[in-house]
Chain A
Amino acid sequence: MLAPFFGTPLTLFLLVLAIALAGYGLARGRALARAGGDARLLHSLPNYYGMTAAMFASVPALGVMVIWLLAQPMLIQNAVLPLLPAEAVETGGATSLVLSDVNRVAEGLDLAVAQGVLDAQAIDALREDPATLRATLAGVGVALGSEVQPFVLAAAQKARALEARGDLIRAGVVIVLALAGALLGIRAAGPAFRARNVVERGVLALLVVAASLAILTTVGIVFSMVSESVNFFSQHPWQDFFLGGSWAPNFRGNSELSILPLLWGTLYISFIALAVAVPIGLFAAIYLSEYASSGMRAVAKPLLEILAGIPTIVYGLFALLTVGPFLVDVFGTGGALSAEGLRDGDPLMSGATAVMTAGLVMGIMLIPFVSSLSDDIINAVPQSLRDGSYGLGATPSETIRNVVLPAALPGIVGAILLATSRAIGETMIVVLGAGAIARFSGNPFEAMTTITTRIVSQLTGDTDFSSPETLVAFALGLTLFVLTLGLNVIALYIVRKYREQYE
């Protein structure tokens, strides 16, 4: 009964740590002993000998454990696949469905055994009559969508057997590795061993690994989205996605999934947001950096930046429950500006969710973003330029318009592009404030939808990761990623290329 105990990654992890700790003490003691108790005879400080052993013991063992944990489910899946009848796996989508069924049944059986509801004999007996299994598993908290097919049960049993064996071998390999590493470290400990150099090389390697995690994340993002997008485009024509005119997902198939109406909504909302944020943010930045006293600056700048620290869900709620209803009061039926006469009795605005609602609120969110970026850029313009302008008799506003702003323009354009990228990728405000209807319309008081809202709606709830209606979310995500990345790169390029060199 040792297998279940050592099988859990946590106990294994703790065991490796214990071995490493023991190795630390032993190696340190041995190094000191071999130097006759005089630490000065050692090449490195005694602790470094201990650290060598601990490092040798833990790093390879934990590395193998992590790789094993990631690889085992895939290998088991491949081993289980031949057990499934051909007709169940002939289409791409059905395979993953059946496999997830197998996983659930296996998980349910594990739970049932752990809770003592079933034992090995009882499970063997189930082979003749798998029908009762569904109820049994429901009893331990695993709900199944349909009756358990015999081949699913067989596959689940095989998966469980493989998993148990894999866990046992993993435990063995990891423990042996840890012990071997610790022994190696202890054996090496002695006056001639350059422990500090070894430890430091190891630590440097860890630092490099940590730094490359950023690359790994990017690779993960690109890889996960590209592979699913390829999957999507193999099931859905790319012409419809990029050039089609409508967004009408239909879970019975034959969906129209075009990004264009979503892109229109996204850009329209971003445009309104920028129309709010850029003038307010820019003028606020100009006033704060050129006119305001230091006292006012010390108060106003942090207050404005509070707006940037408020979570977007708060803005989303503000849009849905406060700004939306307010706009409906003004532009809806009976409102002061509803323009019912011009539109044959239809008001401009009929519901609280609209492009304007989301755009206005997103604009508020972006004010501090624009203002603090522009503020930094305006402050970077050297005082000598201003002084020269004042010396020629220009007023402060003339100096700002004709000298400071032109000098700061590339930076400000860069800031606006960064704000645009933020607006395009913003999710919660549009999920709550923009609505769910995909259309091309010029009326900003109508509900429209955006790329990010569609990603959320296609990927939440019960999703089937083989249908184009779900997979389209990955293609949308990839488009969004490329779009925002492109904007950022262009922004940085503009800032670098056109930056005035003053020194």
Chain B
Amino acid sequence: MTQTSLLRQDARTVRRNRAEKRFRAYGLVAIGLGMLMLVILLTTIISRGTGAFQQTYLSLEVTLDAAVLDPTGSGDVAQISKVSTFGYKPLLADAFAQLSARGVVQSQLDPDDMADILSPGAEARMRNAVLADPALIGRSVQFDFLTSGRVDGYLKERVTRASIVNDSNINAEQLDLVDELRAAGVLDKRFNIAFITGSDSSDARPEAAGFGVSMVGSLSMMLVVLVLALPIGVAASIYLEEFAPKNWITDVIEVNISNLAAVPSIVFGILGLAVFINYMHLPNSAPLVGGLVLTLMTLPTIIISTRASLKAVPPSIRDAALGVGASKMQSVFHHVLPLAAPGILTGTIIGLAQALGETAPLLLIGMVGFIASNGPDSINEALLSPNSAMPAQIYEWAKRADPAFYERAWGGIIILLVFLISMNAVAVLLRRRFERRW
């Protein structure tokens, strides 16, 4: 047997110490893996999503030919509106032909093919401008047109000359033209406010798709959730925490609430579809219905956090109130509730943030699969007319075939996460600022 000492460990101790180091390393590796996932996720979101905030525009001078747009020369809007977007198509070709004539571009493409690098919405853009201000007819006007999704992808290096070989929407000559226009300084990427404020577009026009209307949809739903879930949740918590007698009914309610918190969200979607839409005939796809479903989903969260903050208020406060003659109800509403308010608010914000990111129930009540083209005009319309919601819009874009929509889905995620992060930050600040230790 070899001599061992504190300085010379025996084989068994060495082995045990090694096992100890290994065990610690496993723990570190696990945390490291978790962090790595977080970093990969966030970098993916940011690297893929930031492109959506930039869009390629072409500024082009178009002569709004009176002979085409207002053949009668009346200047009457009703007459002018008879010219459909199709009638504006030749103007675009003319504008490109002029570019060739002035030698800005050397491309030998037919002007009609040149015009194809623009978004299919370009004609409608001109028509709307003309209808808004008929005096423009007959003049040359500088327009900033969205380019097609392919051209935008080319500038963002999503579309390459190799990838368009079998693409019927664009060809190499058109990309040459894009390069020329870019060199001439009339075509470039710039910040795209329309993505943040605009509405979704059809499958063929990814470049025009925006997130704004679905944001309004989400906010309308959050309004419903806040108005319903906060008072109901607080009332239920006050009853359960302060008034409920210890009996089996109370037990049933408590078990119920904790179980509801664990029910999969899609089940709430089925409930919403069966009860609110099929039974009550509330309008399909309406933010009101989405808000109701999310309210039911958020209630358990709010009740659980509200009860925790009511519980944190020390009994001495209640006793003091009762001692000066307040009723039980007065002691709760005048003293306990105000002291618990910061905690309740924090819990509510976190519940709202959860509801904001929830998608599955919205799919079942029909908040996907259509295009809400305009923002609502009134609060009534915001609640009752079909709309999408932020996560549902992201899902919608993720399902579409054109990869240009994927970029927008990631961009939408950035906006959604900005909302979530700021809500959680507010909750943390509230907690830091107002939390009281008794």
- The residues of A with any CB-CB pair to B shorter than 8 Å are 10, 70, 73, 103, 196, 200, 203-204, 206-208, 210-215, 217-218, 220-221, 224-225, 228, 279-284, 286-288, 290-291, 300, 303-304, 306-307, 309-314, 316-318, 320-322, 364, 367-368, 371, 395-398, 400-401, 418, 421-422, 424-428, 431-432, 452, 455-456, 459-461, 465, 473-474, 477, 480-481, 484-485, 488-489, 492
Which residue on A lies nearest to B16, using beta carbons?
Answer: A395
Some 17 contacts from A to B, beta carbons below 8 A apart, are: A204-B239, A204-B243, A207-B236, A210-B235, A210-B236, A218-B259, A220-B271, A221-B267, A221-B270, A287-B28, A304-B31, A311-B358, A311-B359, A314-B45, A317-B413, A474-B270, A480-B264
What mask results when residues 397 to 418 of chain B are scored 1 for a CB within 8 Å of chain A, else 0? Answer: 0100000001001100100110
Pick the residue among B243, B281, B391, B398 that contacts A321 (CB under 8 A).
B398
- Report the minimal beta-carbon distance from A262 to chain B, rounded to whole angstroms: 13
* Residues A317 and B394 in contact in the complex (CB < 8 Å), given A224-B270, A425-B265: yes
- Given contact pairs A210-B231, A288-B31, A473-B270, enumerate 6 new A-B contacts (beta carbons under 8 Å): A214-B303, A452-B360, A456-B363, A460-B364, A460-B369, A485-B262
| Interface check B353, CB cutoff 8 A | yes
Q: Is the CB of B264 within 8 A of A424?
A: yes
* Residues A427 and B34 in contact in the complex (CB < 8 Å), given A314-B45, A314-B417: no
Instruction: Give residues 232-278 of B contacting A (CB, 8 Å).
Output: 232-233, 235-236, 238-240, 243-244, 252-253, 256-260, 262-271, 273-275, 278
| Interface check B299, CB cutoff 8 A | yes
Complex interface: chain B residues within 8 A of A311 (CB): 356-359, 391, 416, 420
Complex interface: chain A residues within 8 A of B29 (CB): 283
Complex interface: chain A residues within 8 A of B280 (CB): 70, 73
* Residues A284 and B394 in contact in the complex (CB < 8 Å), given A418-B262, A484-B262: no
Q: Is the CB of A224 within 8 A of B327?
A: no
- Report the minimal beta-carbon distance from A419 to chain B, rounded to whole angstroms: 11
Q: Is the CB of B30 within 8 A of A280?
A: yes
Q: Is the CB of B235 within 8 A of A313?
A: no
Complex interface: chain B residues within 8 A of A287 (CB): 24, 26-28, 30-31
- Report the minimal beta-carbon distance from A283 to chain B, rounded to whole angstroms: 4
| Interface check B300, CB cutoff 8 A | yes
| Interface check B141, CB cutoff 8 A | no
Which residue on B lies nearest to A208, using beta carbons?
Answer: B239
Q: Is the CB of B270 within 8 A of A284?
A: no
Instruction: Give residues 21-63 of B contacting A (CB, 8 Å).
Output: 22-24, 26-31, 33-35, 37-38, 41, 44-45, 48
Q: Is the CB of B41 within 8 A of A428?
A: no
- Report the minimal beta-carbon distance from B355 to chain A, rounded to whole angstroms: 10
Which residue on A lies nearest to B329, using beta carbons?
Answer: A200
Q: Is the CB of A397 within 8 A of B31?
A: no
| Interface check B372, CB cutoff 8 A | no
Complex interface: chain B residues within 8 A of A212 (CB): 253
Pick the residue among B16, B265, B274, B409 that contacts A317 (CB under 8 A).
B409
Complex interface: chain B residues within 8 A of A398 (CB): 16, 19-20
Complex interface: chain B residues within 8 A of A455 (CB): 266, 270, 364
| Interface check B321, CB cutoff 8 A | no
- Report the minimal beta-carbon distance from B324 to chain A, rounded to whole angstroms: 14
A371 to B34 CA separation, bound complex (whole angstroms)? 10
Q: Is the CB of B236 within 8 A of A304?
A: no
Q: Is the CB of A211 within 8 A of B20?
A: no
Complex interface: chain A residues within 8 A of B23 (CB): 396-397, 400-401
- Report the minimal beta-carbon distance from B114 to chain A, rounded to whole angstroms: 33
Pick the residue among A196, A204, A215 that contacts B252 (CB under 8 A).
A215
Q: Is the CB of A481 within 8 A of B37?
A: no
Complex interface: chain B residues within 8 A of A228 (CB): 274
A318 to B406 CA separation, bound complex (whole angstroms)? 11
| Interface check B202, CB cutoff 8 A | no
- Report the minimal beta-carbon distance from A406 to chain B, rounded to whole angstroms: 16
Q: Is the CB of A428 within 8 A of B31?
A: no
A66 to B360 CA separation, bound complex (whole angstroms)? 28
A263 to B409 CA separation, bound complex (whole angstroms)? 30
Which residue on B lies nearest to A225, using beta carbons?
Answer: B270
Pick the residue among B33, B264, B328, B394 that contacts A313 (CB under 8 A).
B394
- Report the minimal beta-carbon distance from B222 to chain A, rounded to whole angstroms: 14
A452 to B90 CA separation, bound complex (whole angstroms)? 51
* Residues A221 and B357 in contact in the complex (CB < 8 Å), given A210-B239, A397-B24: no
Q: Is the CB of B394 within 8 A of A214?
A: no
Which residue on B lies nearest to A206, using beta carbons?
Answer: B235
| Interface check B140, CB cutoff 8 A | no
Which residue on B lies nearest to A213, using beta carbons?
Answer: B232
* Residues A313 and B395 in contact in the complex (CB < 8 Å), given A214-B256, A284-B30, A397-B19: yes
Pick the residue among B41, B263, B395 that contacts A481 (CB under 8 A).
B263
- Report the minimal beta-carbon distance from B38 to chain A, rounded to whole angstroms: 6
Q: Is the CB of B359 within 8 A of A203?
A: no
A212 to B252 CA separation, bound complex (whole angstroms)? 10
Complex interface: chain B residues within 8 A of A196 (CB): 327
| Interface check B424, CB cutoff 8 A | yes
Pick the residue among B232, B366, B416 that contacts A210 (CB under 8 A).
B232
- Report the minimal beta-carbon distance from B101 to chain A, rounded to whole angstroms: 44
Which residue on A lies nearest to B239, using beta carbons?
Answer: A207
Q: Is the CB of A427 within 8 A of B266?
A: yes
- Report the minimal beta-carbon distance from B36 to chain A, rounded to whole angstroms: 10
Complex interface: chain A residues within 8 A of B235 (CB): 206-207, 210-211
Q: Is the CB of B259 within 8 A of A488?
A: yes
A213 to B328 CA separation, bound complex (whole angstroms)? 23
- Report the minimal beta-carbon distance from A273 to chain B, rounded to whole angstroms: 13
A222 to B409 CA separation, bound complex (whole angstroms)? 35
- Report the minimal beta-carbon distance from A451 to chain B, rounded to whole angstroms: 9
A200 to B332 CA separation, bound complex (whole angstroms)? 11
A309 to B238 CA separation, bound complex (whole angstroms)? 27
| Interface check B17, CB cutoff 8 A | yes
- Report the minimal beta-carbon distance from B366 to chain A, rounded to whole angstroms: 7
A300 to B22 CA separation, bound complex (whole angstroms)? 20
Complex interface: chain B residues within 8 A of A221 (CB): 263, 267-268, 270-271
Complex interface: chain A residues within 8 A of B273 (CB): 459
- Report the minimal beta-carbon distance from B406 to chain A, rounded to whole angstroms: 6
Complex interface: chain B residues within 8 A of A395 (CB): 16-17, 19-20
Which residue on B lies nearest to A201, using beta carbons?
Answer: B329
A214 to B413 CA separation, bound complex (whole angstroms)? 32
Complex interface: chain B residues within 8 A of A70 (CB): 280
Q: Is the CB of A309 within 8 A of B243?
A: no
Which residue on B lies nearest to A199, using beta carbons?
Answer: B329
Q: Which of B41, B299, B303 has the most chain A CB within a 10 Å cutoff?
A: B41
A401 to B303 CA separation, bound complex (whole angstroms)? 37
Complex interface: chain A residues within 8 A of B137 (CB): none
| Interface check B296, CB cutoff 8 A | yes
What mask results when residues 327 to 343 of chain B are scored 1 for a CB within 8 Å of chain A, else 0? Answer: 11100000000000000
Complex A-B, nearest 4 residue pairs according to Cβ-Cβ distance, in ascending order:
A425-B264, A287-B27, A311-B357, A224-B274
Which residue on B lies nearest to A418, using beta carbons?
Answer: B262
Q: Which of A206, A428, A461 has the most chain B CB within a 10 Å cutoff?
A: A428
Q: Is the CB of A214 within 8 A of B253?
A: yes
- Report the minimal beta-carbon distance from B132 to chain A, rounded to whole angstroms: 24
A224 to B258 CA separation, bound complex (whole angstroms)? 21
Complex interface: chain A residues within 8 A of B215 (CB): none
Q: Is the CB of B357 within 8 A of A312?
A: yes
| Interface check B345, CB cutoff 8 A | no
A460 to B266 CA separation, bound complex (whole angstroms)? 12
Q: Is the CB of B359 within 8 A of A313?
A: yes
Complex interface: chain B residues within 8 A of A456 (CB): 266, 360, 363-364
Q: Is the CB of A217 within 8 A of B296?
A: yes
